[in-house]
Amino acid sequence: MHSLTRFLLAAAPTIALAIHIPRQGVDFVDPRIDGGSMLDDAGNGLGEPLNVIISGLSSSPVLTSEGIVNYAKAIGFSEECLGIHLGDPQSANLGDGRGPVNQTIELRQDYGDPDLGTCLESLIGGNHFRVFPQTGPLHPTNALFLAVSQEENVSQSHTISPDGYNVGRNLLVSNAIGDTSFGGVNYHTEAQNLTGLLAVGSGGVNHDIALDGIVTLLTVTITN
């Protein structure tokens, strides 16, 4: 067999694979590319950081409304106390073609009790996060952008704690990393810190609280 023929036959499988196997998605798309922001809109001209992103490459059930609630319960959060939400919802523009969209849900630290523990959080404060999915027509990644923060107790009107954005992010991530489970669903979570998405400092940030500029990307895999 001619050497050129042998070369083409040997190369053909590699060429075919490169052409016919498409990329299966992305972690997320930077909202700023198409006019969005990595700060949500707190309704006062300032914003709170979208400081945790659950990757669009996570197991798809995690990225649904029911799925994020079950995952939240696996890492120490649950729905608000008795379903009661105080305060106006915040919105975010994720640059996905929908413009500003209100949070889909707010989840609070449950202190080990997914049924009533968030009532305690409402009294004494703790960690909480708002969920914003990137699902618009420009960038339907299904990634979930989370605005995470540690807040003070009810006597302090639930204001954000000093350094509460960085602290809240770190607490959520430390609870999430590794293997967790809830409701018969087992999760494995890996984390990666990203820089360059959020500015360092307090410019435009609600409560004038400085950020360290880190966004943590979580990839969540259902293992059962």
Q: What is the pLDDT of residues 81-130, one digit of tens each?
A: 866 555 578 999 999 999 999 999 999 999 999 988 888 887 888 999 99
Distance CA 108, CA 115 (A): 11
Mean pLDDT score, 12-20: 33
- 145 has pLDDT over 90: yes
Q: What's the mean pLDDT in 126-154? A: 95
**How many beta carbons lie within 10 A of that of residue 75, not counting itself?**
22
Question: pLDDT averaged over the chain?
Answer: 88
- 3-state DSSP call for residue 191? strand
The pLDDT, as a whole number, for residue 84 is 56
Q: Which residue type occupies 207?
A: H
How far is 79 from 110, CA to CA, in rounded Å?
8
Residue ranges of the domains in the chain? 26-222
The pLDDT > 70 percentage for the chain reads 84
Name all contacts of 118-122 with Cβ < 8 Å and 24+ positions apart.
118/77, 118/78, 118/79, 118/80, 118/81, 119/81, 119/82, 121/81, 122/80, 122/81, 122/86, 122/154, 122/158
Q: What pLDDT does residue 153 have? A: 78
pLDDT score for 9: 36
Q: How far is CA 57 from the centre of its chain?
A: 12
Banded model confidence at residue 4, pLDDT cuts 50, 70, 90? very low
Q: Which residues pair with 106 in a beta bridge?
A: 130
DSSP designation for 222: E
Are 152 and 159 a contacting pair, CB within 8 Å? yes
**Model pLDDT, residue 87:** 59
Query: Nearest CA to 85 among 52, 127, 130?
Result: 130
8: pLDDT strictly greater than 50: no
Please state the pTM of the whole predicted model: 0.87
pLDDT, residue 3, reads 44
Q: Give the model's pLDDT for residue 39.
A: 98
